[in-house]
A and B are shown apart, each in its own frame.
Chain A
Amino acid sequence: MDTPFRMVRATAAAAITLAGWSAPIAAQQVPDSSVRRTQRTLDSLATAMQALQARMDSLTRAGAQAAPPPTTAPQARASGSYMNMSFDGLGDMGWSSLRNVRSIERGDHDPKVRGFSIPNAEIALDGVIDPYFKGFSNIVLKLDENGETGIELEEMYFVTTSLPHNLQIKAGQFFTEFGRQNPQHPHAWSFVDQPLVLNRMFGAEGLRSQGARLSWLAPTPFYAEAMLTVANSAGGTTHSFRSEASSEIHGGVPIDRGVDGMRDLLIAPRLAASFDPTETQTVLVGVSGALGPNNSGPRANTRIAGADVYWKWKSARASQGFPFVSLQTEALVRTYDAALRTSVDDPGTALPGKTLRDKGVYAQLLWGIKPLLVVGLRGDVASGDEDAFAPPLRVDKYRVSPNVTWYPSEYSKLRLQYNYGKRPGLGVDHSVWVQYEFLLGAHSAHKF
C-alpha cells in the first residue's frame, strides 16, 4: 500500500516544483496576459494536487489503522541465513588443597589451576547442506594455565538425512558414540569436570577421531539403534589406541605404528535401547565397544567395553523442564595388550609384555528442584591392576562431588561444586570450583 502512495506524492511534488521553476523563463518570451493565464492554470493545478495529496494522506492513515501490524520483515530476517551460529563461553574459578591441580583434574576442559581458568569457548556452526546432508562444526578455543590460546577443530561432520531402510551415515571428525557422556560437549555436562573413568579410558579430550559412522534404527515398537563407527586410531584424541602419549599408559617407548590395513583402524560398535515405563519416566540403556591397535608394539591391541544406563523422571506438569530427577551411570573396562617394549624411565630396561586391565564406574544423581535450580551428587571410582606400570593415569582413585547449579536464564549458568578426592598412598584432596557459562546465539538443541 505504501509504495503507490509514495510514488503519487513524489509525482505531484515534482509537478509543483516544475511549475514554480518554469514561470520566470516563460515570462521573458511571451506576452504578460499569456503568462498570467498559464500561471493561474499552474496555480490551480498545484492547488488541486495539494488537495489530492491531502486526501491520499488521509486515506493512507486510515489504511494504516486498519492494516495488521507488519510481520514480514522480521520473518525474512530470521530465515535469511543458511546457517545457525552460536558462541558458548565456559569459565571456572576455585581452589584446591593440592597445589598441582592438574594431577587430580586431568580433563582438558576441567579447572586446571587455582584461581581463574577458561577451559572452553566454542563456536558452533550448523545447518542443512542440501536435500541429502546436514552439517555441523565446532571450533574450540581455550586458554592454558600460561594464558596461551589453543584452537582446535573439535568436530566437523556431515550426516545424511534421507537414506532408505532407516540407515544414516555420519562422516568427518566427531566424538565417538561410546556411552552417554563421551559424545557430549563440555557445556552439556552436569559437573565441572570429566568423570575419572572416562579420563582414564579416553584421555583428557574424550574419544574422537576422523571417520564414519553407520547407524540403523531398528523397526521395533520401542527405540533401538545400532551404530558402527570406523575411524582413525591415531592422534591426540585416541588415548587408549595409537595416541602419541601412550607411554603414559604402558610406561614404554611408543613405536611408530602406521596403518597397514583395516585392522589398524578403530572400530566402535554401540547398541542403545529406550523405554518409557510410565508417562513421566524414561530409561535408556546402552552397550558400547572400542577396538583398535595401540602402539606399545606392532601387533598390540586395546579393547574397551562399556555399559550405560540413564533414567529420568520429569513431572507431567513440568515448567521449563522442572522438576525432574535423573540418574546416569557408566561402567567401563579396558584390556590393554602392552607388548614387549623399552622403558621410558630407564632406556636400558625392557618391559615384559603384559595385559593391563583398568576399570571404573561413575554414577550421578541430579534433582531439578524447581525451575532453573539443580542439585547433583556424583560418585567416581577408577582403578588399574598393574602396579609396575602405574603412572598417575592408572593409580586407584575415588571421588565424591556434590554440586548445585543455578540457571539465571536458559542461556547462562552458575555452578558450585565441591570435590573430595582420594588416591591411596597419595592422600586426600579437597577442591571447590565455581563454573560460569554464557551462550550467545541460536545453539542447536541437544539430544536426550
Chain B
Amino acid sequence: MKIISFLHLSVLAPIAAWSLATSASRVPPPAAVIHVVATTPDLAALAREIGGDAVEVKALAKATEDPHFVDAKPSHIVTLNRADVLIEGGADLEIGWLPPLLESARNDRIATGAPGRIVASQGIRMLDVPSTLDRARGDVHALGNPHFLIDPINVRTIAATIAEHFALVNPKSADLFRANLKKFDATLDVHLATWLKQMAPFKGAKIVTYHKDFVYLAERFNLEVVETLEAKPGIAPSPAHLAQVISTMKAQNARVILVQPYQNRKTAETVARQTDATVLDMAQQPGAIDGTGTYFQLMDYIVTLLSTALQEKK
C-alpha cells in the first residue's frame, strides 16, 4: 500500500503538471513514411493512390462489414495511437464506434483540427440532408447521407484534400503527393468518361437498393431509386413493406436490386423472384468483391455489372 501511495504522489502529479504545460507546444517530428489510418477501405484506397510509397495505410473497417457498426476493438486503439494521419468519412458514419477509440488512442497528431485529421465529408455536397431531425424516419444522418464516395466527382475533391493534408504532415514528400494527385485526376477523367458513356443509355432507369446507400451513384448516372428494401434506414424490412416494394417495382418496371455483401441477400432474392428482377452483388468498399482492390477497379466492376443488368432487363 505504501509503495502504491508513494507512486501516486511522486509520479502522477508531476507528470500531469509537466504534460499539461508542454503538450500544447509539442510538434511531432515528421515521419519518413507516414502512417495513415482510414476508417473504411475506400478511404484507404484513395490514401494509397495519393501517398504511394511515402505512406503505410491501414483501414479499421473490413471491406465486407457494415461501416456504421464496426466494433471499437482494442487493436484499433493501438493502430490509432501510432497514426500520423486519420481519414474518416464524417457525417456521423463512424459516430457509433470512433469516438471511444480516439479517446483511448490519446494521439494529438490526429486530433480534430490537426493536419493529421481528414474528415472526408467536409467540402462534399451532401444529399439527403434532413430539414428536421426525427428518428421516426429511421436512423437518418443529421449531416446528410454518408455514402458519398460512390460518386467519382466527390472522390476527386477528397483526393485533393488528402494530398493537401499529406503535404502538411510530411512536406518533404509534398511534390510526390501533388504528382500522384495529378496522375489520379487524369486517370479518373479517363475512367469517368468511360463510365458516363457506359451508363448513358440507361438515363432514368429505375433501381431498388437495400439501404439508402446508392443515392450518390444514382444521381451521378441519372438513375432513379424507386424503393429501398428497408422501410426506413436501419429498420429491418417488414413483410408489409416488402409487399409495397414488389407492387412499386411491378408498376414502375424496376427490375434491378442492389445489395451490399453485408446486407440480407435472401430478402432481396425473395423480392426478385416475384418481380422478375436481378439481384446485383454490389459493394462500396474496394476489396469486398474479388478483383476490386482499387477504387478504379471497384467502379469499373459496379458500372459494368449495373449497365449489363439494366441492358438485360430493359
Contacts and interface: CB of A to CB of B under 8 A. Distances in A.
Interface stretch (B7-15, B181-189, B242-250, B305-313): B7-15
B78 A162 contact: no
B69 A318 contact: yes
B78 A319 contact: no
Give the bracket for the number of chain B residues in contact with chain A. Answer: 35 or more
Interface string B143-154: 110000000000
Given A164-B23, A265-B5, A75 B143 contact: yes
A241 to B, nearest CB: 13
Contacts of A275: 75
B107 to A, nearest CB: 9
Contacts of B142: 74, 77-78
Interface stretch (B92-100, B164-172, B190-198): B92-100
Interface string A142-182: 00000000000000000111111111110000000000000
Contact of A164 (B22, B72, B105): B22
A411 B100 CA distance: 19
B129 interface: yes
A442 B235 contact: no
A19 interface: no
A274 interface: yes
Contacts of B263: 319
A230 interface: yes
Interface stretch (B38-46, B131-139, B199-207, B271-279): B131-139
A372 B234 CA distance: 10
B74 interface: yes
Contact of B4 (A164, A169, A291): A291
Given A159-B103, A410-B234, A228 B98 contact: no
A99 B254 CA distance: 60
Given A317-B262, A442-B95, A445-B95, A410 B15 contact: no
B66 interface: yes
A74 B16 contact: no
Give the bracket for the number of chain A residues in contact with chain B. Answer: 35 or more
Contacts of B143: 74-75, 78
B24 interface: yes
Contacts of B135: 409, 411
B104 to A, nearest CB: 7
B29 to A, nearest CB: 13
Interface stretch (A32-40, A217-225, A417-425): A217-225
A50 B82 CA distance: 66
A249 B204 CA distance: 74
Nearest to B108: A162
B28 to A, nearest CB: 10
B71 A321 contact: yes
Contacts of A131: 24, 111
A22 interface: no
A214 interface: yes
B232 to A, nearest CB: 9
B77 A319 contact: no
A71 B12 contact: no
Q: Of residues B74, B81, B138, B144, which shows the largest number of chain A Cβ atoms within 10 Å of its Cβ?
A: B74
B95 A269 contact: no
A71 B234 contact: no
Contacts of B1: 262-263, 267, 291, 301
A402 interface: no
B79 to A, nearest CB: 10
Contacts of B77: 217, 223
Contacts of A161: 103, 106, 108, 111
B66 A282 contact: no
A284 interface: yes
Nearest to B125: A68
B49 interface: no
A282 B64 CA distance: 17
Contacts of A386: none
B61 to A, nearest CB: 10
B236 A371 contact: yes
A169 B17 CA distance: 11
B23 A228 contact: no
Contacts of A261: 5
B191 to A, nearest CB: 23
Nearest to A136: B103
B8 A230 contact: yes
B73 A71 contact: no
A77 B131 CA distance: 10
A447 B5 contact: no
B269 interface: no
Contact of A74 (B2, B65, B99, B144): B144
A132 to B, nearest CB: 6
B236 A372 contact: yes
A275 B71 CA distance: 14
B169 to A, nearest CB: 17
A273 B259 CA distance: 37
A162 B23 contact: yes
Nearest to B263: A319
A212 B12 contact: yes
A357 interface: no
A271 to B, nearest CB: 13
A77 B72 CA distance: 28
B304 interface: no
B297 interface: no
The 8 closest A-B pairs by CB, nearest first: A262-B5, A274-B74, A223-B74, A321-B69, A162-B108, A163-B19, A162-B23, A78-B142
Given A262-B1, A319-B264, A409-B139, 6 more contacts: A74-B143, A75-B143, A217-B78, A223-B77, A230-B8, A274-B74
Interface of A: 68-71, 74-75, 77-78, 128, 131-132, 134, 159-169, 212, 214, 217, 220-223, 225, 228, 230, 261-263, 265, 267, 269, 272, 274-276, 279, 282, 284, 291, 301, 312, 314-321, 371-372, 408-411, 442, 444-448
12 contacts: A74-B130, A74-B142, A77-B142, A161-B106, A228-B7, A230-B12, A262-B6, A267-B4, A317-B261, A320-B69, A372-B236, A448-B71
